[in-house]
Every structure is written in structure tokens, then in C-alpha cells.
């Protein structure tokens, strides 16, 4: 049965475009009619594979590579969005790293958390700021974080609490900052199982296949206006504002 084109003529940007997670997610958006821009740290076989997966769904995919810690590169991404698509509907800040500078989100709200990627939280703030002029009313920012559960990691309840805090704070920050522009902010937290892997990586996402089914993918549900509830593995946080 052909997938319903719920996101036809929509544009989604996904960071860490070289990851397997970004590949699966971008293909899901493409199957629903969206065009995709993948932002990766470098051009390699992984991000090219993800690009081809989108194109196999007969949707357009742009690939832009560089360092999101550099404001100039964030402006380059924004220029690519403007020149190729003219707008952006969804920005997925993929795999947040909860370390920020004093000029970013107030440091008083943060603790030093375990990093889950080489990117700093500031990079997502910088990129988001660069893209704001190209959002239309009703555009959505979706902040994604995940933590790994299994032997050798922090106690699950402790790390879950810390990562949930990071998603809540950044989502609340964006929701408050851009609400007057009609832009919505959401957050998603995944529990990623180690699945017995000595060096768990992106392939451990295979332990959460239900997160990517047509009816259950929380990112698609947020994009299309329906919300995924907490089920033990996935938490969707919507429209949070500071208390």
C-alpha cells in the first residue's frame, strides 16, 4: 500500500546526517512526501547512502557538510535552504550534546552531562537562529536526545533524568524564544538499548524498530500534529515553556 503523502511539499533538515538514525528518519519523511536536507560533519559513504535512500523515494535531498560549531557554516546551511527550497518546515536537532557556553542557554540551568556526540549544544542554537528567517508560521523545531541503557553505563534512572532535563530545557528555551513567530518546539527522548554490544553505536537503534514504524514514529507524529505518549522507550515533549 502506498504511503500517504502527509508531508508533500514540506522541507525537513536533519543534523548528523551521516548517522544510521538520520538515514532511517529521512527516508520516513521522504515516504510521506517531504524533501530533505541532511547536514553532516563530513562527506562520506554513510551520508551519501542516506541521501540515495531519500532519492529512491522520488524526493529531493540536499547534502551539506561542515562544522556546525562555526557560525559561517550555519549561515551556509541557511543559504542552501533558501536557494534550494525557499523555506524550512521542520528542523530536527539530532543527538543533542548537553554542553553549552555562558552566552547560550543560562548555565545555571545546566549540569555537566555525559556527551553523546562531538557537537556542543551551542551548535544547535546557532544553526536554529540562522534558519529562523526561513520558517513559516507553524514550523517546528524537534530536539532529539537519546541515552544508552546497559552494563557499563550510568544507572538508567539517573541518566534518563539528566537527558530528559537537557531535552526539556532546550525545548523550553526554543519554545519561549520563537513563540511570537508562530514556531513550535518539541522534544523527543529515546532509550537506546546496548543489546549486548561492546561498543554500541548507531546500529543499536535496531533495538527500537517500533520507533520507526509508519504509525508510531514520534517525529512524524509531531510533524503531522499527533503526539506520541511515553511508552518506556520514547517520550515526546510538546510546546514546553519555562515554569
User: Does residue 6 belong to any structural domain of this protein?
Assistant: no
The enclosing domain of 114 has a CATH number of 3.40.50.720
Three-state SS letters, the chain: CCCCCCCCCCEEEEECCCCHHHHHHHHHHHHCCCEEEEEECCCCHHHHHHHHHHHCCCCCEEEEECCCCCHHHHHHHHHHHHHHCCCEEEEEECCCCCCCCCCCCCHHHCCCCCCCCCCCHHHHHHHHHHHHHHEEEEEEEEEEEEEEECCCCCCHHHHHHHHHHHHHHHHHHHHHHHHHHCCEEEEEEEEEECCCCCCCCHHHHHHCHHHHCCCCCHHHHHHCCCCCCCCCCEEEEECCCCC
Q: Is the pLDDT of residue 191 over 70?
A: no
User: Does residue 213 belong to any structural domain of this protein?
Assistant: yes
The number of folded domains in the chain is 1
User: Does residue 122 belong to any structural domain of this protein?
Assistant: yes
User: Does residue 99 belong to any structural domain of this protein?
Assistant: yes
**pTM of the prediction?**
0.77
**pLDDT digits over 99-143, tens only?**
444 344 444 444 433 333 334 455 677 889 899 999 988 899 988
Q: Which range of residues forms the domain containing residue 115?
A: 11-238
What would the mean pLDDT of 73-97 be, rounded to a whole number?
A: 90
User: Does residue 4 belong to any structural domain of this protein?
Assistant: no
Amino acid at each position: 500500500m502506498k504511503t500517504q503523502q502527509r508531508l508533500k511539499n514540506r522541507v525537513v533538515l536533519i543534523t548528523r546526517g551521516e548517522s544510521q538514525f538520520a538515514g532511517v528518519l529521512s527516508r520516513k519523511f521522504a515516504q510521506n512526501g517531504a524533501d530533505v536536507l541532511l547536514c553532516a560533519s563530513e562527506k562520506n559513504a554513510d551520508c551519501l547512502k542516506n541521501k540515495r535512500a531519500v532519492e529512491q523515494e522520488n524526493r529531493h535531498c540536499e547534502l551539506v557538510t561542515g562544522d556546525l560549531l562555526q557560525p559561517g557554516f550555519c549561515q551556509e546551511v541557511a543559504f542552501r535552504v533558501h536557494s534550494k527550497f525557499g523555506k524550512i518546515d521542520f528542523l530536527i536537532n539530532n543527538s543533542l550534546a548537553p554542553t553549552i557556553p555562558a552566552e547560550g542557554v543560562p548555565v545555571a540551568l545546566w549540569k555537566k552531562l555525559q556527551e553523546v556526540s562531538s557537537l556542543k549544544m551551542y551548535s544547535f542554537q546557532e544553526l536554529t537562529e540562522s534558519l529562523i528567517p526561513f520558517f513559516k508560521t507553524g514550523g517546528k523545531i524537534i530536539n532529539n536526545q537519546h541515552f544508552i541503557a546497559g552494563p557499563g553505563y550510568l544507572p538508567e534512572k539517573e541518566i534518563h533524568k539528566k537527558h530528559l532535563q537537557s531535552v526539556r530545557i532546550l525545548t523550553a528555551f526554543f519554545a519561549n524564544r520563537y513563540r511570537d513567530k508562530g514556531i513550535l518546539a518539541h522534544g523527543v527522548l529515546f532509550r537506546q538499548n546496548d543489546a549486548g554490544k561492546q561498543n554500541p553505536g548507531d546500529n543499536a537503534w535496531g533495538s527500537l524498530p517500533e520507533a520507526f514504524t509508519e504509525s508510531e514514529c514520534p517525529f512524524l507524529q509531531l510533524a503531522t500534529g499527533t503526539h506520541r505518549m511515553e511508552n518506556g522507550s520514547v517520550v515526546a515533549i510538546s510546546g514546553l515553556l519555562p515554569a
